[in-house]
Amino acid sequence: MTRPVTLITGASAGLGVDFARQLAARGQRLVLVARRKDRLDTLADELGNARSVTADLSEAGAAEQLMAGLASNGEHVELLVNNAGFGLTGRFADLGGARQRQMIDLNCGALVELAHAVLPGMIERKSGAILNVASTAAFQPGPGMAVYFATKAFVLSFSEALHEEVRKDGVVVSALCPGPTATEFGQVAGFNGHPIVDPLTAKSNDVVTAGLAGLDSRQAIVIPGFANKLGAQGHRFLPRSLLRRIAGTIKL
């Protein structure tokens, strides 16, 4: 018999830390994954019922190695929180090609690989859940963050499809689509804020609370905050040509 664990990627900062704290408070045993070992170890020590795994999931073979480590520890994933990811601000042609490919590999490739690794067991046990962290960026193109917005559109579409595929198998797949959130994301992405965006910035802990509540209620898509829900429906009321220009004025 293997032990059930909750696997959280991108667990060293932002939403990942709050996911870890809230899920640990529910009594779940955690496996925390990120690149920054010092932060992971500190968080695992704080929580007590967690262990840390240092890994860069954008690297080839990293997800496979992570799953092998879980198996060797006698663990199976009951909840997967696919939170690892990053963005880059700037014109596509001006940003480094290798770094943008790394973004795709992490935001999309690793997410898909981990979901594929854990889903068969969940279906067999008729229990389990996957929470994929997307973004309100998934609902429109994003000039100035073209690849990032595209990766989140992929995550949303992929999550919705999986939700439908496994909903009768006792497994839940949800996409969490937060808007601007107070984390390190903007600093890493090179986005220094905007007068339109800043007033809408949510607290990380509140976003996580909404995401877990949506997962508990078996929602396919979770969008925290009324303004974000409204913004996600922009494509229903405005032409895409206008939506992409609005996004471009914020990011470019």
Residue type, 25: A
Q: Provide the 10 A C-beta neighbour count for residue 156.
A: 23
Would you please indicate which residues are annotated as catalytic (active-site) residues?
Answer: 148
Tell me the two tokens of residue 238: 């405005």
Residue type, 162: L
Q: In what order do the strands lie in the sheet with 30-34?
A: 50-54, 30-34, 3-9, 75-82, 129-133, 172-176, 221-222
> Rg of the chain over CA atoms, in angstroms?
18
